[in-house]
Amino acid sequence: MSKVWTPDLSWGLSAFIVLLACGWGAAWVLRRFCRSRSGHPQGGLRWKVLDSLVPIVRWGFFITGVAAGVHLLDLPPAADRWADRLLQASFVLLVAFVASAAVRLVLGQWALRAKDPGEERTRRTLAPVLSRSCQVFLVTVAALLALQNAGYNVAGLLAGLGIGGLAVALAAKETLANLFGSLAVLLDRTFQVGDNIRTSDITGTVVRIGLRSTRVRTAEGYIVSIPNQIITNAPVTNMGPHAPSA
C-alpha cells in the first residue's frame, strides 16, 4: 500500500481537491450574486451575461486542479506532455462553449429589447440565425485550436480536406443549398417570424427560420419543417402577421 500511496500522489490529490473546492465555491458565490442582480432594471443584461460565464469558473478550476495534480506526479515526460495537451484542448473547448452560450443570451436579450413590434419581429427572425452561426464558428475554431494543441498538424489536415474537396462538396451540397436559402430569405425579407405564409402545399405561421430549414405551424397545430432550398425555389405568399393561417 505504501508503494502505491506515494508523497507525489498525496500532494497531487490534495491540490486537485483544494482547487476543485475553490472553483465550485467561487462559482456558487458568483452565481448567487449575479442572479440577485440580474433582476434590476439597470444593468440586468450585464449580470445575466456574467452568470452565463459561471461554468468557465467551475470547470476552469477543475481543469486547473487536474493539471496541478498531474504536474505533482512523477510521470514520464511523454505522458506529462500528452496530459498538458489534453488539458489545454479541454480548456479551449470550454471557453468556446461558454462563449457561445453568452452570445446566445446577448442575442436573445437583443431580440426582446426592440422598440416597436415590427423591429421585434425582425430581431426575433435574425437572432436565432446569428446565434447559430456564431456558435458554429466558435466551436469550429476551438476544435481546430484543440487539435493543434493536441499535437495534430492542422494545416496538413486542412490540406487533406482540400484534396478531398470534391467529395466533401458533393456530400454537403444539400446543406449548403439550405444555408444559402436561409440567407436569401433573411436578406430579401421574404417573410419573418410571426408571418403567415402559403407555399404550394403548406399554409401556416412562421415560428423559426434556421440555417437548414424554416418551421411553420399549421392551423391544426402541427410544426412542419421546410428546407430553405425548397422555399427559395418555390412561390411563397406572405399574408402578413395578422392574416389567418388557413
Of residues 182, 232, 189, 235, the one with CA closest to residue 212: 182
Runs of H (alpha helix) within the chain = 7-37, 44-52, 54-72, 77-112, 117-149, 154-163, 165-171, 173-188, 228-232
CA distance 83 to 95: 19
**Residue 18 DSSP SS3:** helix
Compute the CA torsion angle 65, 69, 70, 74 (nearest 10 deg): 170
Residue 246 grid coordinates: 388557413
* pLDDT by 10s per residue, the chain, length 246: 444 445 555 665 666 677 667 767 777 777 777 666 655 544 555 666 666 677 777 777 777 767 666 666 666 777 667 777 777 777 777 788 778 877 877 777 777 776 767 667 777 777 777 788 788 888 888 887 777 776 677 666 666 555 555 555 555 566 667 667 777 777 777 888 888 988 878 889 988 888 788 889 988 888 998 888 888 888 888 888 765 555
Question: CA neighbours within 13 Å on the CB side: how many for 142?
Answer: 19
Residue 217's CB is within 10 A of a number of other CB atoms, namely 16
Contact 198, 224 (CB under 8 A): no
**Residue 192 DSSP SS3:** coil
Of residues 53, 68, 72, 88, the one with CA closest to residue 21: 68
Compute the CA torsion angle 73, 75, 78, 79 (nearest 10 deg): -70
Give the per-residue pLDDT at 3: 45
Q: Which amino acid is at 45?
A: L
CA distance 130 to 105: 12
CA distance 104 to 50: 13
CA distance 103 to 13: 36
Is the pTM for the entire model greater than 0.95? no
Contact 157, 203 (CB under 8 A): no
